[in-house]
Structure 1
Amino acid sequence: MNFKRLSTALVCALGFAAPAFAQSVIDHPECVAPANPGGGFDLTCRVAQTGLAPHVSSPVQVNFMPGGIGAVAFNQFNTNRADDGSAIVAFSTGSLLNIITGKYGAFDENSVRWVATAGADFGAVVVRADSDYKNLKDVMDDLSSDPQSVVVGAGGSVGSQDWMKGALLMREAGGTPMQMRYVAFDGGGDAIAALLGGSIEVYTGDVGEMVPYLESGDMRILAVLSPERLDAPFDQIPTAKEQGYNVEWTILRGFYMGGKTSDEDYKKWVDAFNAAYGTEEFAKIQHDKGLLPLNMSGEELSASIEERMKTLREIATEAGLVQ
């Protein structure tokens, strides 16, 4: 799929389709980022906070609920906040993978209500600006010859999507995922701090969360794990594929609610996102956050999640993460 053409086409389409929705009246609207500030979940909630501002009756507040790379929040919204109609929770493809591998406990994808997407993101191989690794080949050569010499870290434990990115790199280097020297952190913000502090050498993160750090000159992206090069500000960064390594990872970013949320409250959030999707302003927010405008809500998103879960279960089984 040509994601650059998809991005352009969707932005153009949005410019011509602006359905008229009244503001959704939501008491104390909240977006829960299930990690510490600074990572991909934070970014996802900021899209909702800014993008929904004209379409909800009160400003969306962003709150953080770290723990278990989303497990604490997932359990909260399946127990004592299962009917909370005022809150949405950020999720990513990694959250779906955590459900599959049992990291979220007894609850599964059918335990919550899938609300809407914030857009699509892509994996990235990131180093500090002063790293000896000048390109992806340097990293892959070391992974191939001496995997233990490369300290890889990210915001997720073994089996998470960030681990999967490193595992795919390790496999492409001719080794096995279990040979990788991997350090797990509770969210992308913590992993980025570790990279900048020198505790890890390579961060397998996401493109979208890199925008402020690239502007500051603190880090460099050696490769994006997208099918093709992305649009600005990432258009100068080569893909892993064009550097000769068949590694790709697309991240869906979006929001869910508790499974016992009323249809009325659920519809308010879905309507608000649909209204936002029909504006050029929302498309610009997605672009500025490094996301492609992959816009789905309500039943369409729920059906997409069902299909994605089937595919991810196949991948997880192949990697030996589930039986």
Structure 2
Amino acid sequence: MKKLMALTLALLMTLSLAACGGKKTEQPAASGSNDSSAPAETAAFAPSKNITWICTSSAGGGSDIFSRKIADIMKNDNLVNGQTIVVSNETDGSGEVGRNKVATMKAGDADYTLLTFNSGDLMPMVKNTKNRSSNFRILAIMAVDKQLLFSCPTSESKTDYAKAGGDQTDFAAAIEAAKNGTFVVIGGSKGDDITTYGKLLAEVGLTEQQMGYITYDSTSDAITAALGGNVDFVISKPAAASQYVESGDLTPVLALANERYSGNLADAPTLSEIGDYENVEVPVWRGVAAPAAMSDAAVAFWSDALGKVSASDAWHTEYLEKNQLLDEYKDTAAATEYVTAYEADYMAANGLS
């Protein structure tokens, strides 16, 4: 009897060990493990609280219009999981304070912070600070913008050119007046506006002492100066100036592009049409960035959401067509490559390191 019981017990133990041996127990990798063979899985991201969108330009300017239109489409098309996007205009230090705030943001809030980031933001940033595009996650490029010169001939102008009877609807006349000793003033924003002004000056053969430039924090501020008669002409993209053209307060006088615009901007000639000059054109890409600390999952979410905005009817009809921009969506990978190359070319051309 004892032998039978021992044999039965041994058989049960054998069966138990066989069952355990058929299944390998997975041990979790230790924290900080360098085992590159383990598959990396990233949990999907979906917003669960309000999003802050920082725009380093004043309300009413081109960048502000761009930011708010995307925020509206994301909300209306339910792309942000029912959360609210709050646009914050942070213009201190010509926008550098806001950009640095985003660049240095820590993980956590980083997933819920977006930044309007254009070529006009990048140029002064790399010229005046140590910040570089690599300090951000570039989420997308959405469109390409171009510029015009506008005037407000109905304002009580305070400039020398206006007092001398200068024609603010004829930029060719302004060029000749500047060459003959009358100081002409152009107003505009920073970055690409200043670059455009410099190229315009070089092409028409004038100096800053003949045709000066006043820098404002945003295009909307520069337009306000034009409406108040403090500058003769103002550089602006169509988006920021459109409402004033429609109301008759601004007149488009020069298309800073290789061909004329259409619609209510069609009367503005190109530079080659008013004299023996080459056209001046400085295309402005408009994009969206985020803190470098944003998670990969959040980057993928926002790049995809921006792609859906770019494909929407509202984006095409209410923004691109209305403001005469070119459709130019690039996702996070393509946009990062493009911005990195753009930055390198700009720095090389300006002797920056």
Scaled by the length of structure 1, the TM-score of the pair is: 0.82
Aligned-residue offset at 1:182: 1.9
Matched, 1:230 2:290: no
Aligned-residue offset at 1:239: 2.5
Contact 1:44–1:118 at 8 Å: present in 2 too? no
Aligned AA (1:94): G
Tell me, in whole angstroms, the C-alpha distance in 2 between the residues paired with 1:290 and 1:23. Answer: 34
* Residue number in structure 2 paired with 1:170: 201
Query: Which runs of no fewer than 5 residues in structure 2 stay unpaired?
Result: 1-43, 156-166
Pick one of 34, 37, 41 that aligns with 2:59. 37
Aligned AA (1:253): R
| Larger deviation, residues 297-306 vs 35-44 | 35-44
Aligned AA (1:88): L
Runs of 4+ with deviation above 6 angstroms: none
- 1:148-185 deviation per Cα after TM superposition (whole angstroms, max 9, x unaligned): 611222122xxx32122222221112134565422221
CA distance 1:290–1:208, change in 2 (3 Å): farther
Any residues of structure 2 matched to 1:236-255 within 5 Å, and which?
236-244=267-275, 245-246=277-278, 247-255=280-288
Give the number of the structure whose alpha-carbon radius of gyration is greater: 2
* Residue number in structure 1 paired with 2:39: none
Aligned-residue offset at 1:232: 3.0
Contact 1:136–1:240 at 8 Å: present in 2 too? no
Superposition CA RMSD, Å: 2.4
* Residue number in structure 2 paired with 1:152: 186
Secondary structure in 1 matching 2:65:
helix
The size of the alignment, in residue pairs, is 292
* Residue number in structure 2 paired with 1:84: 110
CA distance 1:75–1:153, change in 2 (3 Å): same
Contact 2:120–2:192 at 8 Å: present in 1 too? yes
Secondary structure in 2 matching 1:25:
coil
Tell me, in whole angstroms, the C-alpha distance in 1 between the residues paired with 2:134 and 2:173. Answer: 43
Contact 1:116–1:254 at 8 Å: present in 2 too? yes
CA distance 1:38–1:279, change in 2 (3 Å): closer
Aligned-residue offset at 1:125: 0.9
Any residues of structure 2 matched to 1:62-77 within 5 Å, and which?
62-77=87-102
* Residue number in structure 2 paired with 1:266: 299
Aligned AA (2:306): F
Pick one of 141, 155, 172 that aligns with 1:137. 172
Identity within the alignment, %: 23
Q: Which has the higher contact order (CA 8 A, sep 6+)?
A: 1
Aligned-residue offset at 1:37: 1.0
Matched, 1:97 2:130: no
Contact 2:253–2:267 at 8 Å: present in 1 too? no
Secondary structure in 2 matching 1:222:
strand
Any residues of structure 2 matched to 1:120-131 within 5 Å, and which?
120-130=144-154
Aligned AA (2:57): A
Aligned AA (1:124): L
Aligned AA (1:297): D
- 1:197-253 deviation per Cα after TM superposition (whole angstroms, max 9, x unaligned): 111111122222111111111111111212222343433432234334321111111
